[in-house]
Chains A and B, each alone.
Chain A
Amino acid sequence: MAAPNSAQRKACWDARDQLWQCLDDNNDKIQSCQKFQGDFEANCPAQWVKYFTKRRDFLKYKDKMQREGFTPAEGPQ
């Protein structure tokens, strides 16, 4: 399976950006963005779908940590 070429990379990134914009607009409710999710999966190799999904999770988590701070887990008593 050949690697995506420049046009294919761009198509995938654009689909991803559309999906993420929809998720941002819909409070991360994936149900409201099924069409974009479908486009994203159609335009990107499965490995990239997994990679970008994980990346978004990580970015959201990082954002949450920076905004809300975190309470360290309780250590041994």
Chain B
Amino acid sequence: SLSRTPDSSRVALKLQTRLGVTLLVGVGLLGAWWWVEQEKQQRRRRQRVEQLRTVALGQGTFSLLDHTGHRRTKQDFLGRWVLLYFGFTHCPDICPDELDKLSTVVSALDRDPALPRLQPLFITVDPERDDVAALASYVRDFHPRLVGLTGTPEEVRHAGRDFRVYASAGPKDEDGDYMVDHSVLLYLVSPDGLFLDYYNRTKSPEQIADSIRNHIRNHVPL
């Protein structure tokens, strides 16, 4: 018959082989591309972590006394998402406002059972006056999990330096009272102990909570 000559069947076979080979090569290429993409993403994540490391905020270790008189170090808070504020108990309005905001944020996130529980921290910039007892009565007015931290002036300075906190005590008046001018920020620290984000006075509790939810969702453990 005319339909199947040895030539045409050889052509048909060649076509099948070519198709098969092309398919294999295609799958191989796809696989290689996917692998390269994974590697790229890994590299990007590692770079970002390195960048955060070089920014070197919150890198150090601090050693402070909490408001129950127990010594706590940075290591004690690893494994938790930390939201941290530096202030002082003699502060007229900003610190109570920011701590109220902090409490609102933590309570809002507490309401979502799928999220890990945040650890709110308050570190004093006025260790001369804010001893353990002063902190204990101060933190009572805010979120139940809020931990107050104090120490010697050097220990407190060390913790503040770690976050580039600015703090400057003003002149004492006739009652010995004084103000401490200080930077006003909430700091977000990841469970790996890395500083991830900061929130200034213009940020609302909703904005901060949303930002933290995002960070938690996108978190890649080291």
Contact = CB atoms under 8 A, between A and B. Distances in A.
Interface string B67-100: 0000000000000000000000110110010000
Interface string B136-159: 011001000000000000000000
B89 A3 contact: yes
Contacts, number: 40
Nearest to B130: A3
B131 to A, nearest CB: 11
Contact of B177 (A1, A5, A6, A52): A1
A47 interface: yes
B184 interface: no
12 contacts: A1-B177, A3-B89, A3-B129, A3-B130, A4-B90, A6-B96, A6-B141, A9-B96, A47-B177, A47-B179, A50-B173, A51-B179
Nearest to A44: B92
A4 B177 CA distance: 12
A39 B33 CA distance: 74
Contacts of B90: 3-4, 45, 47
A11 to B, nearest CB: 13
B175 interface: yes
Contacts of B178: 47
Contacts of A44: 92
Contacts of A5: 137, 141
Contacts of B177: 1, 45-47
Contacts of A52: 92-93
A59 B175 CA distance: 27
A48 to B, nearest CB: 4
B175 A1 contact: yes
Interface in A1-48: 1-6, 9, 12-13, 44-48
A5 B142 CA distance: 12
A45 B172 CA distance: 13
Nearest to B138: A3
A1 B179 contact: no
B176 interface: yes
Contact of B92 (A1, A2, A6, A48): A48
B92 A46 contact: no
